[in-house]
């Protein structure tokens, strides 16, 4: 039972996120919050999408004070979709391979530091992007990264090294595709290496796609990377490392409220979770829809 004088915080834990199976994080959560005004309730996930199922049940039945996603971007996305527009605040303990959304928000991976942030519970509203019947909070899209996400998702080994190997393997044989775009009512056709529907600045691991993106500006950053010579790849990587991805001839960023993407390709991804299909993707911003716990000093930087 939930103690009356304590705030009920639910921790949704992905036990296999980021290959941290032996971290014993449940005991660390109980130990830290025992002396606070937060009472933790822990729910480990058992399969892909389980976090969303748990969250839907919780927000409909018990309305916890906050739900904390303990995992990577996939777990975060599941929790976001489980919460939906119910208004229950969310926190993040980043334990994944990339942790793109958490990195954008400035949330550390150190458990002691992130526990302190959760205890202080500084909430701020952030935007969501509705894509079909799902919500994206980070970066979604089509093209090369969607293909890599699909390959990565169906590989036993996880982590950055595995992702890089897949990306390198696919890079030299990948052929850019033709897309039809409808951006705030304006139609265009273009060939692209990839198209990202970005809420935050990065995919994860500080690999930036839209360095100036904000999760609370009320806009999608539509990022289109045009076909480029393979010899230019190192230059693009250099710009990623310098956080200057948007300074170059191959990337165009357009801020929009609504976007439609029609493609002939097989794959798309939502916050890194790959899916098959998606001939027509419809995306629109839902401004300030989600309350998220962030470090207070980051309030003007997200």
- Cβ neighbors of 231 (< 8 A, separation 6 or more) are none
For 101-121, what is each residue's pLDDT tens digit? 999 999 999 999 999 999 999
Q: What angle do CA 295, 48, 109 make, to 5 degrees?
A: 25
Q: For 15-64, give the secondary structure using H, E and C.
A: CCHHHCCCCCHHHHHHHHHCCCCEEEEEEECCCCCHHHHHHHHHHHHCCC
Contact 43, 64 (CB under 8 A): no
Alpha-carbon dihedral sign for residues 51, 57, 63, 64: negative
Cα 284 from Cα 154, distance rounded (Å): 29
Q: How confident is residue 19, by pLDDT bands cut at 50, 70 and 90?
A: low
Over residues 237-247, the mean pLDDT reads 68
For 25-51, what is each residue's pLDDT tens digit? 999 999 999 999 999 999 999 998 999
Q: Where are the domains of the chain?
A: 7-121, 135-287
Kind and range of the H or E element at 194? strand 194-198
CATH number 3.40.50.150 is the correct assignment for the domain at 7-121? no
For 158-176, what is each residue's pLDDT tens digit? 667 888 888 889 998 999 9
pTM of the entire predicted model: 0.92
- Whether the predicted pLDDT of 1 surpasses 50: no
Cα 106 from Cα 150, distance rounded (Å): 27
CATH number 2.60.200.40 is the correct assignment for the domain at 135-287? yes
């Amino acid at each position: 039972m939930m103690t009356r004088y304590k705030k009920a915080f639910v921790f949704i834990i992905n036990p296999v996120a980021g290959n941290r199976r032996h971290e014993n994080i449940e005991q660390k959560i109980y130990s830290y919050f025992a002396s606070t005004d937060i009472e933790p309730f822990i729910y480990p996930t058992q399969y892909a999408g389980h976090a969303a199922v748990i969250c839907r049940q919780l927000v409909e039945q018990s309305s916890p004070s906050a739900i904390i996603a303990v995992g990577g971007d996939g777990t975060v996305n599941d929790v976001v979709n489980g919460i939906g527009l119910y208004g229950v605040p969310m926190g993040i303990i980043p334990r994944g391979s990339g942790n793109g959304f958490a990195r954008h928000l400035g949330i550390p991976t150190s458990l002691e530091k992130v526990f302190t942030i959760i205890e202080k519970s500084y909430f701020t509203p952030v935007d969501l992007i509705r894509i079909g019947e799902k919500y994206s909070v980070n970066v979604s899209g089509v093209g090369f990264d969607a293909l890599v996400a699909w390959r990565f998702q169906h590989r036993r080994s996880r982590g950055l090294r595995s992702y890089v190997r897949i990306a390198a393997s696919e890079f030299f044989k990948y052929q850019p595709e033709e897309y039809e775009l409808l951006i705030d009512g304006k139609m265009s056709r273009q060939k692209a290496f990839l198209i990202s529907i970005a809420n935050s600045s990065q995919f994860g691991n500080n690999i930036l796609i839209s360095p100036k993106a904000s999760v609370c500006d009320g806009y999608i950053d539509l990022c289109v990377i045009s076909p480029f010579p393979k010899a230019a790849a190192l230059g693009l990587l250099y710009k990623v490392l310098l956080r200057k991805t948007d300074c170059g001839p191959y990337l165009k960023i357009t801020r929009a409220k609504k976007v439609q993407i029609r493609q002939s390709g097989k794959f798309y991804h939502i916050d890194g979770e790959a899916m098959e299909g998606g001939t027509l993707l419809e995306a629109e911003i839902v401004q300030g829809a989600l309350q998220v716990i962030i470090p207070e000093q980051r309030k003007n930087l997200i």
